[in-house]
Structure formats: structure tokens, C-alpha cells
Amino acid sequence: MDISRRNLIKTSLAASAAAAAGITLGCKKKETAQAPAEQAPASTAQAVSTQEVDKWVKGVCRMCGTGCSIYVGVKNGKMVAIKGNVDSKTNTRGFLCIKGMNIWKVAYHPDRLTTPLIRKNGKLEPASWDEALTLIETKFKEFHKKYGYDSVAYYGSGQCTTEESYTFNKIWKGGFGSNMMDGNPRLCMASAVAGYLSSLGSDEPAGAYEDIEKAKCIFLTGSNTSEAHPILFRRIARYKKENPDVKIIVCEPRKTQTSNIADLWMPSLPGTDLAIFNGMAREIIKNNWHDKEFISKHARFTSGDGSKASSFDEYIKFIDKYTPEYVEKVTGCPAASVKQAAEWFAKSGATMSLWCMGLNQRSNGVWANNLIHNLHVITGNFGKPGADSFSLTGQPNACGGVRETGSLSHLLPGCKPVAVEPWRKHVESYWKVAEHCINPTKAINPKPGFPAVKLFSILGGENEKDKPVKAIIISTTNPAQSLPNLNKFIPNMKNAFTVVIDIFPTRTAQLASVVLPAAFLYEKGGVYGCSERRSFLTQKAVEAPAGTKPDLWIACQIAKRMGLEKYIAWSNEEDIVKMAEMAWNDYIGCTANSEKTLAGATYKRLKESTTGVQWPCPSEDHPGTYKRYVRGMDPIFDNPAKYGLKIPADADMYFYGRPDGKVNVFMRDAEPKASEKISKEYPFLMTTGRVIEQWHTGTMTMRIPETASAHPNSYIEIHVNDAKKLGLTQGDMVRVESVRGVNILPVKIVNMTLEGVCFIPMHDQKGSRMVNFICSDVVDATSGEPDYKVSAVKITKVSGPEKVDDRYVVTKEELDNPTFS
């Protein structure tokens, strides 16, 4: 072998570097070689130097809702590296977390699906694209005729590009005249949407990430930001380090890494934190810390059920029950902490609240959102730098792709309800529905379709009379792992005609009738819009592997075959980048007269921009909007009539989404009435969540060696005192059981959770470790979002420690066998 001198030096120095790094300290010599763990091909294991890359292509991270912008390094037509974008306004200075820096590697994993599959006699057999699409066309047409247009559903994702979600939405709502389509943001963001709509009158935050560095107090609740949004946490941590006087309050059941930067950690038993929010409001008013002027100008007090207007006095009476002592009794949060938090929240000068699934995934998720908005109204923490009530989103394009394009069962583009007639008529006319719709109604259905959990419960086979939805096309998401109470929904997906679009074998693909192999984000490009209303274009960096197709192409083929060729004008285009541009232009035209306008964010501008664009952005010369509802900052004030709104000429601040321009302050009761309660038989409260190295159902992150090794399997965290009571030691295997299902998991004994509360991460694909078999499928009555954060379980020891760090993923071979072992 020819070893160059330079390589020789490198190798020997690497060995001495190990010594220098102290790695070998006290170690005995390795005796047996280990079988290498399964990993991506060797080519993805090497870091590539900047000099070796042919080009860097601009884009966004494929993972969480932070929306970090990146450059993908391409060499010889292949992705070889990722670096952060230093111009970014999201991941300032270009920081990335371990998921973002490794995301490109999944594209080259040997499990990539590269041919369509059709189930024949129980087995998924390779098929041509034409064969697969013909089958889909035949079935869809047959079901439309036999069972009506609502019998064929679409289930999308906050990871599809905006162009893709918009296209599917346009096909279903205007092309088929059916609202039987929803998306996985229903499982994570729906309560935030309903919270913003009911309180402020318009979805998505008023402010932006840059409020972080302007805030004097940051209230993090229902969010383990350090792991779920690592780069935002880095921003907050850096800001706190440089500004120690800024107060950080963390309110959540577990004392996670997030609370390491906190001045105050407020524990709360899962499901109870609404009492804390009402208690803080009571303390604020009792101490006269409320902002009287802001309240008189911008607050509308409203009864708990939202039916009638009320008054400030009534509100004071309503919250009087939530004394700090009462709150302590209900939540476990010390009374003194409630008082302290109230003072900092009200008196710091500018408070920013950030929350995520901890509030949204709850039986009273919308109300939890409302109560945070309440706190901001009574303390005047809106509209000024550093003050905002800011919902963090979990997926990279839940906001841009699904909320803004209205790709949920009750919405239309611009995030306006289908039931709102003037907007529905506008969309009908913009889309020319009367001309193109294949449904004889020739109109968009004014009645909403079904939200995810309901949709999957009425999905079934042709012989199931009580299940009217017979077919579903599922894009870029994995409901057979991510829905709650899986035992209830798995048979439905198996019995229906289920089409799955994905890049890997998944639990859902195991149930599919047809599997379509998709292109990866960097193999197609498209727009993602993150938590802070910012849309950013990912440019196509490399060619997709032979046999795979972008979802947008797939949507267009279905449109064509269903007779919507003229309706989806871009379905006749060959080039995927051109198709995406046409879809984007159609979308921004459709919403140009809504407050979500991105009319100024042309594709040309997005291509050139290294920062993306925040809506409202009405024209190409508009810079995008940092703060909504404030005259001089929000362009809606310049021409409200254009958006069908009225804003008084003398109003400096106006919540124009509400008929009276005022924010609803709701008298929402704190008790989680619908949530599951603990009992003698099921004495532990179980909650779920993320870890930093994994993402969603692990289909990508469990295939990256670095992230898989750091979290190779799920486990159950329980408090040290509970472990003692149960006679458990670290690593013991336990059976975790709810009335719905069972997991067998290793125990992780901790002292950072509350006694009686246990936690299981949500990423593991192994059947016996899939936490969603256990999770409650109770949903929020308004948003339809499931109560993943509160389930009652019992825990019993099964055995001593066992080796379960198998980094399990569903393989191609297992696609034929839909048992979830």
C-alpha cells in the first residue's frame, strides 16, 4: 500500500493525539475487536475540509422548527458536509446542533427507498412509477364514485415544502371539493393556532426571535428548549451569560438542562400549569403590577366559554381562587415561586414567553395558550422590543407549509377557516374552482373535514361500514408511530387503501398498500417557514437518486390523472425547480390580500436572500416584518382596506384580527377535566418528549451513526424515591402499562423529575418501546390535538438490566411484515 509521508505523519500524530487528549488514561489494552455497529457508508463518516468542496448550496436544516439556515457542501455531485450560515437571523453566527450538522448523511443511507412498492398478496412488491400511480388513480376514482369525495383523504406534514403542501391543499379542497385532509401539525401546533386565533385573532407570533436579545425576562414553559430547540436555547443561554440581570423562569415538570440557565425553576405536575398562570395573574393584579393603560386600550375580558364579554372586575373575581397556596396544592409549585415569577414577569420591563408541546399537547392546550396571552395583556407585554408571547413550533415547515397555506381540515390559504365565507369565495375565485373542480358541487366545502385523530379513527376497509374514509395518502410523516393510542389506529391504516410517501421504510410504510420513494429536501429544494414567520428557500443541491421523486412531482401526477391538469398549471412542467417556483407564485398570489402576505417574497428574492423573509411582506421593496400589530412596523397599517380590515387612524397598536381590535383575556378554568387521572392501579403520571440527538420517530436520526449512538433506545425516567419504592436499580427492565398499551423499557433513575412523574422519549421505533402505544388519545375539544403529555401508567419490574441499545430501525425486509415487534 502506498502511504504518503503526509498521511503517515497524520496517522501517527492521531495516535499521539489520543494520548494527549487523555483518552487512554488508565485504560487497559483493548483485547477483542468489536463488531462494528451498523452505520452509514464510510463516505459519510469523514469530515470534508472547506477547500475540498466544489460548491456550497444555501438551505435550511431539515429537522426542528428553529429553522437554522445552512450551506450544504457538494463535491462531485454528492453532499459531503454542512455548515451554518453566518448571515442567519435564526441560528445567529451559524451555529448548528448535532442533528443539523449531520443531516445530509441520511440521504446516503442504504435503507433509502428507490422504487415504488405495491402490496400484492401481503407482500410489498417493486413496481414502476406508472403502475403505482395508475393503481392510485384507479382506487381514488373508484372510491370517489362509490363513497363520495370525502372518502379519499390526504395527511401531510410540517416537513413537506410549502409548495408541496399548498399543491395538495389546492387539489383536495378546490379540485376534489373535499376538506378531508389534515397534517401532523395537528399533533403538535393546533392548540397554538387556536390559541392565537381565539386570543389575538390571527395565527402566529407578533414578535420574532430577535426579541430574545431585547427581553428583560424570559418565561420558558412547556418547553425543554435545550433539547427540542437547541440553537434557540444557545441564543438564550449566551444572552443570559452576557446579561446576568435578565431573569429566566422555567416552568415544567422535569428539571431539565433548560433550567440550568434559570433564575427560577417552577415545577408543575403534568397537566396542572394553567393554575400557575392564573395564579401569576392574580398576584400581578393584587400587587398592582398590571398595566392599566394597556388593559384599557387593548384588553377585552371574556367569559371562560368564550360566549360573552365580561369585565375586569369579573376577571379579578374569577382569578381570586388561584391564591399562591392553592396553586401550590394543585401543581406542586411552591407558593413563593408563583409570587416571584409574577413579579419578574410584570416588572422586568419586557417579558418574552416561549412555549412548545408542553402546553399544546394537552386536553386543555388551547386554554393553556390563552392563559399565557392573558399574562402578556395584563402586563402590557406586547408590541415593544423584547415583549411577546411566542409559540415555538416543532417542525421546520409547520408554520410556513401547513398553518400559513391552511393545509389542515378546517383552514384555507392565509390560515383562515373554510367556514369564513368571504375568504372561501376569494379562494374559490382565485383557484377558479367552479371551472376545474371534479366534484359536482364545483365549490370548496364550507364544512371542515376531520382533524387527524378523528380522521384516522374513521379510516378503514371497504367492508367497514362505520368507517367512511377508504383511502389516504400520507406524505413525509409516520402516523403509525406518532399517533397516540396506536393500537386503535394501526388496523385502520392497514385495512384502508394507504399510500405512503417517504424516503425510508417506516412503521407506516409497513401498513401501506402503496409506498412511493421520495426525494430528500436537498435533492429537490423548496421553501420552509419557521416559528418566527420567516420563509427561507432551500435550493436544490444534488440530483435525487434514480427511482425517487419529489412529493411535488407526485402531487402533480395525481392531479393530472384525476383530471386537474389545467387546474394545477405546474403539473405540466418538467423541471422540479420551475414547478416549485410556479406553485410558490400561485400561493403568494392567493394570500397577497391576507395579513400573512408574502407577495414581496418572490422566488428571485428568496434565491438571492441569505436571511429569508418574514411576513407580512406586501411588496418586493418591503424588508419583511419583525413586529406585528404596531404602526410603523407592521405594513398592514399602511393599507388595512386591502386586507379587508379596519384600523382606526389614531391607533398605534391594534390587534386587527379581532373585530374590536382588542385581545381576549379569557377566564379559563385551570382544571384538566378531560385528561387521564392517576388511580390506585395506574399511580404514575407519564409524560413524553424529545432528546437532543433524535427527532420525531427517529427515521432519520436513528440512521445517523453519531445521533443513533447518543440515544440508541428509549427508556423511562423515574424519580429516585419511586425507584426505591418499586425496588428498582439503574438499568432494570420494567413493564410500563396504561389502559391502552404496554412498553418494556430500561429504567433511568433520576432526581430531576417530580416524584410520581415519569418520562419516556418518543423516538424509538422498536414495537415494545414505542411510547405511543401507551399515550392517551384524549384530544383538546377545540384544537383536536392529543394529550400526549398526560397519561396514567403503572410500572412493574420485569428483570435486571438487559442490552437494548440496538438503534432499531424498520428495515426493507420488515415492510412485508406489519407486526410491530
Partner 1 sequence: MKQSIIFLTLLFTLIFSVSFAQTEAVEHPLPMEGKDCAVCHAPGSTEEIPADPTAYQEWADSMHGLNSVKCVTCHGEESTFKADSNINICLSCHPTETTVINRKTESADYGLVCSACHKVHSFTVTKEAKPVHTK
Which residues of the shown chain bind partner 1 in the complex (CB under 8 A)?
9-11, 13-15, 17-30, 32, 34, 36-37, 39, 45-51, 71, 81-86, 93-98, 100-101, 226-227, 230, 233-234, 237-238, 241, 257, 260-261, 692-693, 705-710, 712, 803, 805
The distance of closest approach from Cβ of residue 149 to ligand SF4 in the complex, given in angstroms and rounded to an integer, is 37
Distances from the Cα of 770 to the Cα of 156, 479, 509, 688, 801, angstroms: 22, 12, 16, 11, 19
The maximal CA–CA distance of the chain, rounded, in angstroms, is 86
Q: In the complex with partner 1, which residue's Cβ is closer, 27 or 641?
A: 27
| Residue 71's binding partner out of partner 1, ligand SF4, none, with CB under 5 to 8 Å set by partner kind | partner 1
For residue 616, whether the previous peptide bond is cis, meaning omega lies within 30 degrees of 0, is yes
Q: In the complex with partner 1, which residue's Cβ is closer, 91 or 506?
A: 91
C-alpha cell at 224: 425543554
DSSP 3-state percent helix, strand, coil across the chain (nearest 5): 35, 20, 45
Per-position DSSP letters for 252-270, written without gaps between them: -SB--GGGGG-SEEE---T
The distance of closest approach from Cβ of residue 758 to partner 1 in the complex, given in angstroms and rounded to an integer, is 20
- Closest alpha carbon to 801 in 748, 758, 724, 765: 748
Pairing outcome for strands 613-614 and 534-538: antiparallel
The distance of closest approach from Cβ of residue 609 to partner 1 in the complex, given in angstroms and rounded to an integer, is 18
| Residue 11's binding partner out of partner 1, ligand SF4, none, with CB under 5 to 8 Å set by partner kind | partner 1
Q: Which residues contact ligand SF4 (rule: CB under 6 A)?
A: 61, 63-64, 66-68, 91, 96-97, 99-100, 229-231
Q: In the complex with partner 1, which residue's Cβ is closer, 436 or 763?
A: 763
| Residue 63's binding partner out of partner 1, ligand SF4, none, with CB under 5 to 8 Å set by partner kind | ligand SF4
User: Measured between alpha carbons, how far is 451 from 755 in angstroms, rounded to an integer?
Assistant: 35
The distance of closest approach from Cβ of residue 280 to partner 1 in the complex, given in angstroms and rounded to an integer, is 27
The distance of closest approach from Cβ of residue 161 to partner 1 in the complex, given in angstroms and rounded to an integer, is 23
Per-position DSSP letters for 494-561, written without gaps between them: HHSEEEEEESS--TTGGG-SEEEEBPPGGGT-EEEE-TTSEEEEEPP-SPPPTT-B-HHHHHHHHHHH
525: exposed, middle or buried (C-beta count within 10 Å: 0-12, 13-18, 19+)? Answer: buried
With a CB cutoff of 8 Å and minimum separation 6, the contacts of 736 are 686, 716, 742, 743, 744, 745, 758, 760, 774, 793, 794, 795
Whether 718 contacts 770, CB under 8 Å? no
Which uninterrupted H or E stretch holds 72?
strand 69-75
- Closest alpha carbon to 285 in 180, 374, 192: 374
811: exposed, middle or buried (C-beta count within 10 Å: 0-12, 13-18, 19+)? Answer: exposed
The distance of closest approach from Cβ of residue 108 to partner 1 in the complex, given in angstroms and rounded to an integer, is 14
| Residue 61's binding partner out of partner 1, ligand SF4, none, with CB under 5 to 8 Å set by partner kind | ligand SF4
Q: In the complex with ligand SF4, which residue's Cβ is closer, 174 or 230?
A: 230
Q: Give the CB-nearest residue to ligand SF4.
A: 100
| Residue 99's binding partner out of partner 1, ligand SF4, none, with CB under 5 to 8 Å set by partner kind | ligand SF4
C-alpha cell at 378: 395584563
Q: In the complex with ligand SF4, which residue's Cβ is closer, 390 or 654?
A: 390
With a CB cutoff of 8 Å and minimum separation 6, the contacts of 584 are 162, 163, 166, 527, 603
Question: How many C-beta neighbours within 10 Å does residue 207 have?
Answer: 26
Q: In the complex with ligand SF4, which residue's Cβ is closer, 261 or 723?
A: 261
- Closest alpha carbon to 384 in 460, 293, 501: 293
The distance of closest approach from Cβ of residue 191 to partner 1 in the complex, given in angstroms and rounded to an integer, is 27
Q: In the complex with ligand SF4, which residue's Cβ is closer, 90 or 495?
A: 90
Looking at residue 401, the DSSP 8-state letter turns out to be I
With a CB cutoff of 8 Å and minimum separation 6, the contacts of 454 are 784
Whether 167 contacts 556, CB under 8 Å? yes
The distance of closest approach from Cβ of residue 110 to partner 1 in the complex, given in angstroms and rounded to an integer, is 15
Q: In the complex with partner 1, which residue's Cβ is closer, 234 or 534?
A: 234
| Residue 676's binding partner out of ligand SF4, partner 1, none, with CB under 5 to 8 Å set by partner kind | none
Q: In the complex with partner 1, which residue's Cβ is closer, 13 or 309?
A: 13
3-state secondary structure of 444: coil
User: Measured between alpha carbons, how far is 228 from 66 in angstroms, rounded to an integer?
Assistant: 9
Q: In the complex with partner 1, which residue's Cβ is closer, 227 or 717?
A: 227
Q: In the complex with ligand SF4, which residue's Cβ is closer, 256 or 743?
A: 256
| Residue 370's binding partner out of ligand SF4, partner 1, none, with CB under 5 to 8 Å set by partner kind | none
The distance of closest approach from Cβ of residue 242 to ligand SF4 in the complex, given in angstroms and rounded to an integer, is 20
| Residue 322's binding partner out of ligand SF4, partner 1, none, with CB under 5 to 8 Å set by partner kind | none
The distance of closest approach from Cβ of residue 234 to ligand SF4 in the complex, given in angstroms and rounded to an integer, is 8
The distance of closest approach from Cβ of residue 696 to ligand SF4 in the complex, given in angstroms and rounded to an integer, is 11
Q: In the complex with partner 1, which residue's Cβ is closer, 105 or 789?
A: 105
| Residue 673's binding partner out of ligand SF4, partner 1, none, with CB under 5 to 8 Å set by partner kind | none
| Residue 34's binding partner out of ligand SF4, partner 1, none, with CB under 5 to 8 Å set by partner kind | partner 1
Q: In the complex with partner 1, which residue's Cβ is closer, 80 or 734?
A: 80
User: Measured between alpha carbons, how far is 177 from 439 in angstroms, rounded to an integer?
Assistant: 6
| Residue 705's binding partner out of partner 1, ligand SF4, none, with CB under 5 to 8 Å set by partner kind | partner 1
The distance of closest approach from Cβ of residue 63 to ligand SF4 in the complex, given in angstroms and rounded to an integer, is 3
The distance of closest approach from Cβ of residue 707 to partner 1 in the complex, given in angstroms and rounded to an integer, is 8
- Closest alpha carbon to 511 in 489, 494, 487: 494
Q: In the complex with ligand SF4, which residue's Cβ is closer, 238 or 321?
A: 238
The distance of closest approach from Cβ of residue 481 to partner 1 in the complex, given in angstroms and rounded to an integer, is 23
| Residue 260's binding partner out of partner 1, ligand SF4, none, with CB under 5 to 8 Å set by partner kind | partner 1
| Residue 709's binding partner out of partner 1, ligand SF4, none, with CB under 5 to 8 Å set by partner kind | partner 1
User: Measured between alpha carbons, how far is 344 from 381 in angstroms, rounded to an integer?
Assistant: 12
C-alpha cell at 606: 428568496
Q: In the complex with ligand SF4, which residue's Cβ is closer, 67 or 358?
A: 67
Q: Output the CA angle 512-514-515, nearest 5 degrees.
A: 85
Q: In the complex with ligand SF4, which residue's Cβ is closer, 96 or 500?
A: 96
- Encode burial over 95-118: b for 16+ CB neighbours within 10 A, e otherwise: bbbebbbbbbbbbbbebbbebbbb
| Residue 499's binding partner out of partner 1, ligand SF4, none, with CB under 5 to 8 Å set by partner kind | none
Q: In the complex with ligand SF4, which residue's Cβ is closer, 39 or 531?
A: 531
| Residue 371's binding partner out of partner 1, ligand SF4, none, with CB under 5 to 8 Å set by partner kind | none
In degrees rounded to 5, what are phi and psi of residue 161? -75, 165
The distance of closest approach from Cβ of residue 800 to ligand SF4 in the complex, given in angstroms and rounded to an integer, is 36
- Closest alpha carbon to 786 in 360, 271, 157: 360
- Closest alpha carbon to 285 in 382, 379, 371: 379
The distance of closest approach from Cβ of residue 281 to partner 1 in the complex, given in angstroms and rounded to an integer, is 32
| Residue 50's binding partner out of ligand SF4, partner 1, none, with CB under 5 to 8 Å set by partner kind | partner 1
Instruction: Return the amino acid letter for 713.
Output: N
The distance of closest approach from Cβ of residue 614 to partner 1 in the complex, given in angstroms and rounded to an integer, is 23
| Residue 419's binding partner out of partner 1, ligand SF4, none, with CB under 5 to 8 Å set by partner kind | none
